Structure 1
Amino acid sequence: MPSLQAPLLTLMSIPSPSNGVWHLGPVPIRGYALCIIVGIVLAIWIGERRWVARGGTAGEVSDLAIWAVPFGLVGGRLYHVATDWELYFGEGRNPVTALYVWRGGLGIWGAIALGAVGAWLYTRSRGIKVLPMLDALAPGVLVAQAMGRWGNWFNQELYGRPTDLPWGLEIDVAHRPTQYLDVATYHPTFLYECLWNLAAFALLIWLDRRFRLGHGRVVALYVMLYTAGRGWIENMRIDDVQLNDVLGLRFNVWTSIVLFLLAAAWFAWSLRRHPGREETVRTREPEGGRGDEEAEDAGSGAAAPEESAGRAPADPTA
């Protein structure tokens, strides 16, 4: 029954939101921004639990976020503008639009790089070792990235090649490339990356529990897992970027390859040089004395052996 084929395919496809912005009075509420915010909140929550399980003090991840999140947002935007500068500084363009973050355009590697700088500045000021902190945070970053990809769904951007698969993503004509104006459904690369990131998160948590990873190896595995997925997903995308073809591959694919190799090298070096996990997560006690929990233990006069050695008790969520 050919007459039913098109309606059936439409029924089985994934619709895109007709509108990604809602107004609460004069205040615009943007789906893209909400996804980023939800991701950040989840990353902080997961990181806080993991940090405390590793021997850190509750509240330190939330404090770190005050440094790392603004740095990360600036870094993500700078990376995007640097790799697609013609969108903002070419002929007939308005450079001010480079500041319009709510329209989309955050490069993950710029966000990670400057976010790590913010984390380093905070940990140095508090006498915290940066590698244990980054190892605690890395899995939650995968969840934040998974949530952030739904912002691309609201903006109808960064989708893949045309497809007639049942999970094809419907894209409005206004958001389609000129060469595909007659094609209605595309690979939902935002969904592929979301699912990949969540699967990588689960695997990373399991590996960390099983092998008690330390000295930056959780971060290295995070980079390896993410880039392995990002490489093949990136190759599916059809959006036109300034560095679209470098020796036959998109620039972000090359970035993924290079970072995967660097992370693998760091993992191997760290495993050989520093087997096991750090004995302590601090270079010095925080200003004002020990954490609240340690102070309570000292007051009771009965600190547990692991705690007295500067290590947190074993926690199955670590």
Structure 2
Amino acid sequence: MNTPVVTELFFPSPTVSAFQLGPLTIRFYALCILAGIGVGVWLTARRLRARGGTTAQTLDIVTWAVPFGIVGGRLYHVITDNQLYFGPGKDPWGALRIWDGGLGIWGAVALGLVGAGIGARRAGVPFAAFADAAAPGLLLAQGLGRWGNWFNNELYGEPTDLPWKLQIHAMNQATGQALTGSDGTPEVLGYFQPTFLYESLWVLAAASLLMFLDRRYRLGAGSVFALYIVVYTAGRFVFELMRSDPANTILGLRVNTWVSGLLFLAGIALFQTLRSRSRSEIGTPAPDPRHGPAAPIERTNT
């Protein structure tokens, strides 16, 4: 009598995080970031057109916001995880190798907003209108970017035996390949909570919620972005508590846990301040072919 084979359920991770294209090393982490930027820009342009803007204005602003955001994200990562790059035996030049991974969302958003402010002023777009239009797209970009962590086999939670546990390999990030054991198979470090997946699903749901609330209630200028801060930090606070990778701490909590909690409170206060304002608009919204030409609206100073 044959004994049935029991197959263990788990969520696999890639054993390859990069590939060669001629002399270039293409990192899947970078491709995920680029895919997120592309989807985020597409949704932002669509939402800005609904507020009376144009795709050209979106692209003009993004040209400033994205480079500022990447620099800010890297700076935040290097500052908060400086022990990875500075000190005895460390390679300080690694702080510049952004393609190896390491972008802090708080730095990316902070400097990205500075770039967006410059671009919005040059494009003649009220800053609040762009920020509200961009908020859901920013969430989608973050969700897609998290899949870069999946390719890198990083940012996982505590060990678990849940059916959706994440299999993690020992990776050589320099080569983009999993280390192999004596039998030639990829070395498995263990099975952990897939926090990258939880966050990716959370931000997808959060983006849908923001778009629904914006359509349903015509939220005041700037309040959509304030809600972005609230919903994202609420989830991020929980996910940071679940993570088991090394991180700097303050009073026993990870730095990003503290930042998430403080920004959550700030986001609520900002939303309460802005929600009663007029909706952020640029001018006459683009006609909707389903309903005929849009009626002109009064321009607001937001």
TM-score normalised by structure 1 residue count: 0.82
Cα 1:257–1:26, aligned 2, differ >3 Å: closer, same or farther?
A: same
Q: Bigger shift: 76-85 or 23-32?
A: 23-32
Residue 84 (structure 2) pairs with residue 83 (structure 1): no
8 Å Cα contact 2:152-2:171 kept in structure 1 = no
Deviation at 1:306, TM superposition (A): 3.1
What amino acid does structure 2 have at the position aligned with 1:307? P
What amino acid does structure 2 have at the position aligned with 1:186? F
What amino acid does structure 2 have at the position aligned with 1:249? L
Cα 1:132–1:28, aligned 2, differ >3 Å: closer, same or farther?
A: same
Deviation at 1:183, TM superposition (A): 5.6
Residue number in structure 2 paired with 1:262:
266
Residue number in structure 2 paired with 1:306:
295
Aligned to 1:22, what secondary structure does the other structure show?
strand
8 Å Cα contact 2:60-2:123 kept in structure 1 = no
What amino acid does structure 1 have at the position aligned with 2:102? G
Cα 1:112–1:89, aligned 2, differ >3 Å: closer, same or farther?
A: same
Question: Which of the numbers 259, 277, 280 marks the counterpart of 2:279?
Answer: 277
Residue number in structure 1 paired with 2:140:
143
Q: Deviations over 1:117-140 (max 9, x none)?
A: 000001112322101110000100
Deviation at 1:308, TM superposition (A): 6.8
Q: Distance in 1 between matches of 2:193 and 2:233?
A: 19
Q: How does 1:243-254 map to 2 (within 5 A)?
A: 243=248, 245-254=249-258
8 Å Cα contact 1:16-1:169 kept in structure 2 = yes
Aligned to 2:295, what secondary structure does the other structure show?
helix
What amino acid does structure 2 have at the position aligned with 1:35? C
Q: Which runs of 5+ in 1 are unaligned?
A: 283-289, 295-303, 312-318
Q: Which runs of 4+ in 1 moved over 4 A?
A: 308-311
Q: How does 1:47-86 map to 2 (within 5 A)?
A: 47-86=44-83
Aligned to 2:68, what secondary structure does the other structure show?
helix
Q: Distance in 2 between matches of 1:257 and 1:130?
A: 26
What amino acid does structure 2 have at the position aligned with 1:225? V
Aligned to 1:191, what secondary structure does the other structure show?
helix
Q: Distance in 2 between matches of 1:183 and 1:257?
A: 31
Indicate the structure with greater strand content: 2
Deviation at 1:63, TM superposition (A): 1.6
Deviation at 1:4, TM superposition (A): 6.7
Q: Distance in 1 between matches of 2:171 and 2:97?
A: 20
Q: Distance in 1 between matches of 2:118 and 2:271?
A: 24
8 Å Cα contact 1:162-1:183 kept in structure 2 = no
Deviation at 1:91, TM superposition (A): 1.1
Q: Distance in 1 between matches of 2:58 and 2:38?
A: 11
Residue number in structure 2 paired with 1:122:
119
Indicate the structure with greater helix content: 1
What amino acid does structure 1 have at the position aligned with 2:117? W
Q: Distance in 2 between matches of 1:309 and 1:204?
A: 24
Deviation at 1:307, TM superposition (A): 3.3
Over aligned residue pairs, what C-alpha RMSD do you find?
2.4
Q: Distance in 1 between matches of 2:17 and 2:162?
A: 25
Q: Deviations over 1:231-257 (max 9, x none)?
A: 01111111112x2x3123211111011
Residues paired across the two proteins, number: 280
8 Å Cα contact 1:135-1:214 kept in structure 2 = no
Q: How does 1:65-214 map to 2 (within 5 A)?
A: 65-174=62-171, 184-214=190-220
Deviation at 1:148, TM superposition (A): 0.2
What amino acid does structure 1 have at the position aligned with 2:263? L
Q: Distance in 2 between matches of 1:138 and 1:182?
A: 38
Q: Deviations over 1:251-301 (max 9, x none)?
A: 1111011101111101111134x2x313x427xxxxxxx99x89xxxxxxx
What amino acid does structure 2 have at the position aligned with 1:87? L
Residue number in structure 2 paired with 1:299:
none
TM-score normalised by structure 2 residue count: 0.87
Question: Which of the numbers 216, 222, 227 marks the counterpart of 1:221?
Answer: 227
Residue 19 (structure 2) pairs with residue 8 (structure 1): no
Q: Deviations over 1:95-130 (max 9, x none)?
A: 111001011100000000000000000111232210
Residue number in structure 2 paired with 1:301:
none
Q: Distance in 1 between matches of 2:97 and 2:168?
A: 23
Deviation at 1:309, TM superposition (A): 4.2
Q: Deviations over 1:62-91 (max 9, x none)?
A: 121111110000000000000011111111
Deviation at 1:310, TM superposition (A): 4.7
Residue number in structure 2 paired with 1:286:
none
